[in-house]
Amino acid sequence: MSMAEALLGDRKSRLPRLDGIVQWLLPAAILLVWQVVCSRGYVPARVLPAPTDVVLAGWKSLQSGELVYNIWVSFWRAVVGFLIGGGIGFAFGLANGLSPFSDKLTDTTLQMIRNVPHLALIPLVILWFGIEESAKLFLVALGVFFPVYLNTLHGIRTVDPQLIEMGRIYGMNSGELFRRVIFPGALPSIFVGVRFALGIMWLTLIVAETIAASSGLGYMAMQAREFMLIDVVVLSILIYALLGKAADSVSRFLERITLSWHPAFQKH
Amino acid sequence: MQLSLRVFPPDVDFVPPAKLIEQARKARRAADPKLEPRPGGLALTIRDLRKSFGENHVLRGIDLHIPAGQFVAIVGRSGCGKSTLLRLIAGLEPATAGSISFGENVRAEDVRVMFQEPRLLPWATVAANVEVGLGRQRVRHDAKVRAEQALTEVGLHDKRAQWPRILSGGQKQRVALARALVSRPRVLALDEPLGALDALTRISMQRLLERVWSDQAFTAILVTHDVSEAVALADRVLVIEQGWIAHDVEINIARPRRRGSADLAALEGSILQELLKEDRSADA
Ligand SMILES: Nc1ncnc2c1ncn2[C@@H]1O[C@H](COP(=O)(O)OP(=O)(O)O)[C@@H](O)[C@H]1O
Ligand SMILES: [Mg+2]
């Protein structure tokens, strides 16, 4: 065995474990620097609280039950808004990808609406719904709708027509053709839309909750700002980040198990 | 230090040993006695077949009779309508005029097509791709067994649980062949199925094709741009020119045929000469 081979073989066996650690090195370093900078007093506590203060604020908020309640409220809004907007977007994507008539009927209109930034509708939405739940759900659903719609449509349109012809030749009916050829072919693109939509979902929710809400993480942050509780403000921002990361991980996981045939998800 | 030269064979490894094939065949007969005696090929009669795309008259009246079980090769210049003829025979497109009849009532599974691209579903395993070939019979309890037998016949049984993406070009075409054959078709239409393969893989695929044809006795219609492939495999070579059958050449050479033998070369030469006539008259 040559030197190079020996090295390579060794690296192969060590890499996976190292990989798991490597990605956390930078966040840990940032946290450390942050802590040092704050506790040494380089940055005043009213500008940026130390990580330990943030943890403490989290602990207090957790004990009062406020934190869990607000996370739950935001999580619920995110999920319901996503399911409504994503569901409708998926349905329109399917309809317009499969039926030229439906495409002619609705696509131009949808493309026009897409050009309105959905957050610009906030004043209108407040007038319509006040600060009820429906206001937030409406905004999230609207924001999520377009990425899911566009990517589902794109996925279906770009399924290899030769595979569709093959399915027909081998006697698949429309249902089978959809289930075995069109849907799996469109799935990678649908996932792209879903992951994009997840980002928009959190963004919309943050904005909506800071402007028009009486509960939720965004509301918690705004309340804390009024009382100058900067540690709670930072806490809510961090929780948003964690929730965003969690949503992304879930969709990555789903991708990995459903797209294991795809070259991009090859097992090493 | 010892140097050893390792030569990676192209895709030649695969033609499975005769013993294995015989085993698969026996198992198939035991599993489904109705398959024996084999149905054999279908005869095919084409009358005044025409096909136009707008003003482009691609086929201008094809008359042809193919006896059951014959191996026919169709050659011609690019764009002369070979694929169009094959697609009409396979029922993928309607004719502008004329008729194609198979003599008997045909089921959808009786006529199968193979293309230059393997057209495998990337998200289905090799075995699942072959099962697609069963068409309406896929719901039967023995679908899996039959798919595996078809894979054994093309020498890919050990790849049955893999994704198609890991296969070589030749292996993908063998999966496509297994998929086409798993329903025991009586007519197999092939549109340049080996066109994208390298020379050696191509030769071993030709042998495989000849073997399954002589074993299963279907009627084979092979479109190819390779005249040597046509004379090596076929009982009869049709030359298409300007929408007509310009030549209909019997290949009366006993099988197994020896590649590169003088009589094959002579036939190949004369067919090539016919194909190149146009060029020479243009040059003159
Ligand atoms: N679906 C189609 N629509 C319009 N023209 C077509 C179509 N399919 C084939 N043609 C035309 O028919 C002619 C023959 O094509 P084809 O049968 O594919 O030739 P080849 O002999 O190379 O297989 C070409 O001129 C091609 O442009
Ligand atoms: Mg062609």
- Pocket test of ligand 1: the residue of B83, B192, B225 to mutate, having most ligand atoms within 8 Å of its CB, is B83
What's residue B260's pLDDT? 82
Residues B32-91: tens digit of each pLDDT: 555 444 568 899 999 999 999 999 999 999 999 999 999 999 999 999 999 999 999 999
Q: CA of A165 to nearest chain B CA: how many angstroms apart?
A: 9
Query: Are the CB atoms for A259 and A185 separated by under 8 Å?
Result: no
Residue A132 lies in a domain: yes
Q: Which residues of A9-36 are buried (b: 16+ CB within 10 A; e: fewer)?
A: eeeeeeeeeeeeeeeeeeeeeeeeebee
Task: Return d(Cα A143, Cα A128) in angstroms, integer.
Answer: 17
Q: Which two tokens stand for residue B34?
A: 């109705």
Minimal Cβ distance to A180: which of B115, B121, B179: B121
Residue A158 lies in a domain: yes
User: Of A99-113, A187-201, B20-34, B187-201, which range is least confident?
Assistant: B20-34
**Average pLDDT of chain B to the nearest whole number:** 86
Query: What value of ipTM does the predicted structure carry?
Result: 0.83
User: Which atom of ligand 1 is least distant from the CA of B76?
Assistant: 21
User: Would you tell me the crossing angle of helices A66-98 and A183-211 to the nearest 10 degrees?
Assistant: 140
For residue B79, the tally of other CB atoms under 10 A from its CB is 10
Query: Are A165 and B117 in contact (CB < 8 Å)?
Result: no
Q: What are phi and psi of B221, to 5 degrees?
A: -125, 110
Query: Ligand 1 centroid to B275 CA: how many Å?
Result: 19
Task: Return d(Cα A240, Cα B268) in angstroms, integer.
Answer: 74
Task: Judge whether residue A12 has pLDDT over 60.
Answer: no
Full residue range of the structural domain in which residue A181 is found? 64-260
What share of chain A in percent tops pLDDT 90?
Answer: 70
**Strand, coil or helix: B92:** coil
Residue A35 lies in a domain: no
CATH code for the domain of A150 = 1.10.3720.10
**Strand, coil or helix: B91:** coil
pLDDT band at B141, cuts 50/70/90? confident
Residues with Cβ within 8 Å of residue A136, at least 6 apart in sequence: A77, A81, A205, A208, A209, A212, A213, A216
CATH code of the domain occupying B11-39+121-185: 3.40.50.300
Residues A187-222: tens digit of each pLDDT: 999 999 999 999 999 999 989 998 888 899 999 999
* The domains spanning B11-39+121-185 and B41-106+187-284 adopt the same CATH topology: yes
> How many domains in chain A?
1
Q: Which CATH class is domain B41-106+187-284?
A: alpha beta
Establish if A165 touches chain B: CB-CB under 8 angstroms. yes
Query: Are A170 and B113 in contact (CB < 8 Å)?
Result: no
What's residue B128's pLDDT? 95
B81 lines ligand 1 (CB under 6 A): yes
Residue A248 lies in a domain: yes
Q: First-to-last CA distance in chain B?
A: 63
Q: Is residue A86 exposed (0-12), middle (13-18) or buried (19+ Cβ within 10 Å)?
A: buried
Give the C-alpha distances (Å, rounded to integers) separating A119 from A124, A212, B15, B70.
Answer: 10, 12, 64, 70
Residue A30 lies in a domain: no
Q: Which two tokens stand for residue A91?
A: 């349905």
What share of chain B in percent tops pLDDT 90?
Answer: 67
**Average pLDDT of chain A to the nearest whole number:** 89
Task: Return d(Cα B60, Cα B247) in angstroms, integer.
Answer: 15
Domain positions in chain B:
11-39+121-185, 41-106+187-284
Residue A241 lies in a domain: yes
